[in-house]
Structure 1
Amino acid sequence: MDTHQSAIRTAYFSIIGNAALALVKGVAGILGNSYALIADAIESTTDIFSSILVLLGLKYAKRPADDNHPYGHGKIEPLITFIVVAFLVTSATVIAYESIVHIQTPHKVPSSWTLYVLGAIILWKEASYQIVIRKSRETHSTSLKADAWHHRSDAITSIMAFLGISVALLFGEGYETADDWAALLASGFILYNSYRIFRPALSEIMDEHQYDDLVELIREKSMEVDGILGTEKCFVRKSGISYHVDLHAIVNGAISVKEGHDVSHRLKDHLQSQIANLDHVLIHIEPDEYDNG
């Protein structure tokens, strides 16, 4: 299975999981008198839509290059990530507002059985995070990474709800709003995670250099090609799950233009066969007596 297809299957996993959990949390929150669980359900509902956006973005990014998009469609991924972050910020704002309203409104202590529901949710969301973050690393997908952090932030809000309900049940009268305070605290975690997701996506859009390990690997693999004497400049930028490379390679200055052309093609083919997710590789040939001055 190629990396795009693997990423798409992971997005489907997120959609199904979030839909099921939103329903469970909403019902448990209403029946169990816990706004922290209802807040959790709100976030899971936004997660459904954000995961659908991630899926659509991954499918769009899979389109081959065309005349209008010679470098492919991969830049849609960080753009989708920005929208996912907007969903997160919106859900955090709604949760914070509703938490403050509930803190000011007298209500009953949540039912004790909601703790069992939350315990199961925490385990499931953390497992989901581990699955999706692993796939995001395997596929180098920015939007999948954002989706993974959705799962982690969901686990965090559930932990906060668990603690809040536990405090309310343990101390009883006067602590009915503990789970509301927990929901308010969880909204802060969501906002923090939003920044953690937003920053790498912004770096990708701005072509910020963050690929020292990949550059080192490219230089190492280049020296395996006959005729390559060394490398000079090497620039890498990311587009979706693919990387575009501009590499200056040093060859014998006495060879013909045709021989230099053949060496550059061998180098390009070798790099693409040895390093995953390299798409466009532009080789600039430099003669070994080339003077930088």
Structure 2
Amino acid sequence: MSLRPPQPHLATQLRAEAGARLVLRGVAINALLAAVKFAGGIFGNTYALIADGAESLLDIFSSSLVWAGFQVAARPPDANHPYGHGKAEAVAALAVAGFIFAMAGWVGYHAVHEIITPHRGPAWWTLLVLAGVVVIKIVLSRQMAAASEEAGSTALGVEALHHWSDALTSAAAFVGITIALVGGKGWEAADDWAALFACVVIAFNGGGMVMKAMGDVMDAAVAQTFENEVRSLALTVPGVIALDKMRMRKSGLSYLVDIQIRVNGSLTVRAGHDIAHAVKDALIASARHRISDVTVHVEPAD
């Protein structure tokens, strides 16, 4: 028999569902952009746009992984996963980062091939396509970054970086094609060099994404300022004299807290329990901190 998820996990579920909807919108936009880029690359004779189109196809697949991660992360705790399924979100982000590295290698290999293979220069109108792509990708990146900050989502943060790297690669292609058009004969490979430069940018961003996702998977410590805020909140609970140890870890879209409080040593067990419960309720009730579970250990102050 399944139990109704407690309120903090319900809030996590709602954040996961909102993130999944935003990712699906990005998938639809990437599908449209991929078609436009491939058409522009083939008919405009520019490999930079074809490489950009291939990246958009990979974006669709990687975004689908993020969407699947959100679907799993939205599930409430169960007998096999008492802390919930939040880690699925970080695992999905890690998988996407891996695909980004693979994409950088694929694009780089083919860019080198195009550089050493003589070919015609790109068409001028491909610049219009790239300009539109850059604008769309910057808008998507900002929306994803804002949603990531609001939901505390590593996967959405990775998606935001992914869209930003797309904007950078398209901008590099724009510069390369412009150089090829202005330079004329002998500069046909400028857009291919731009695609090669884009690979470096993609790989660099991929490294940042891996570190961020690995931090969640390996239960890295939260920022000290964030921990201090939670400590201050716990100290406002009546009956809490001091705090000893506190550990926090991120689990998907929420945080898990282990905290040790000190209370008056002459209090009864019942009174100490009530204070501990009040601390737990206060931390979970703080929507800003997105805490889904708290374990409180009580120690006498004297």
TM range (shorter): over 0.9
Whether the 8 Å CA contact 1:29–1:35 is kept in 2: the answer is yes
**TM-score, normalised with respect to structure 1:** 0.96
2:221 corresponds to 1:213: no
Whether the 8 Å CA contact 1:164–1:179 is kept in 2: the answer is yes
Amino acid in structure 2 at the alignment position of 1:252: N
Structure 2, unmatched stretches of 5+, are 1-10
Amino acid in structure 2 at the alignment position of 1:202: M
| Distance in 1 (alpha carbons) for counterparts of 2:255 and 2:68 | 21
Q: Give the CA deviation at 1:210.
A: 2.8
| Distance in 2 (alpha carbons) for counterparts of 1:176 and 1:91 | 24
Structure 2 counterpart of 1:154, from 166, 169, 172: 166
2:245 maps to what in 1?
Answer: 233
Whether the 8 Å CA contact 2:222–2:250 is kept in 1: the answer is no
2:22 corresponds to 1:10: yes
Structure 1, unmatched stretches of 5+, are none
Alignment of 1:89-168 (within 5 A): 89-168=101-180
| Distance in 2 (alpha carbons) for counterparts of 1:95 and 1:235 | 43
2:84 maps to what in 1?
Answer: 72
| Distance in 2 (alpha carbons) for counterparts of 1:15 and 1:67 | 34
2:258 corresponds to 1:246: yes
Between the aligned residues of both structures, percent identity stands at 40
Whether the 8 Å CA contact 1:211–1:236 is kept in 2: the answer is no
2:297 corresponds to 1:284: yes
Q: Specify the SS of the correspondent of 2:208.
A: helix
- CA-based RMSD of the aligned residues comes to 1.1
Q: Give the CA deviation at 1:198.
A: 0.4
| Distance in 1 (alpha carbons) for counterparts of 2:213 and 2:98 | 13
| Distance in 1 (alpha carbons) for counterparts of 2:196 and 2:234 | 53
| Distance in 2 (alpha carbons) for counterparts of 1:78 and 1:223 | 31
Alignment of 1:14-29 (within 5 A): 14-29=26-41
Whether the 8 Å CA contact 1:32–1:114 is kept in 2: the answer is yes
Q: Specify the SS of the correspondent of 1:210.
A: coil
| Distance in 2 (alpha carbons) for counterparts of 1:57 and 1:65 | 15
Alignment of 1:41-60 (within 5 A): 41-60=53-72
Aligned residue pair count = 289
Q: Deviations over 1:163-201 (max 9, x none)?
A: 000000001000000000000010110000000100011
Find runs of 4+ consecutive structure 1 residues off by over 4 angstroms: none
Q: Deviations over 1:208-246 (max 9, x none)?
A: 113312211111111221111121111000110110000
**TM-score, normalised with respect to structure 2:** 0.94
Q: Deviations over 1:57-78 (max 9, x none)?
A: 0010010111111111111122
Whether the 8 Å CA contact 2:69–2:92 is kept in 1: the answer is yes
2:6 maps to what in 1?
Answer: none
Q: Specify the SS of the correspondent of 1:215.
A: helix
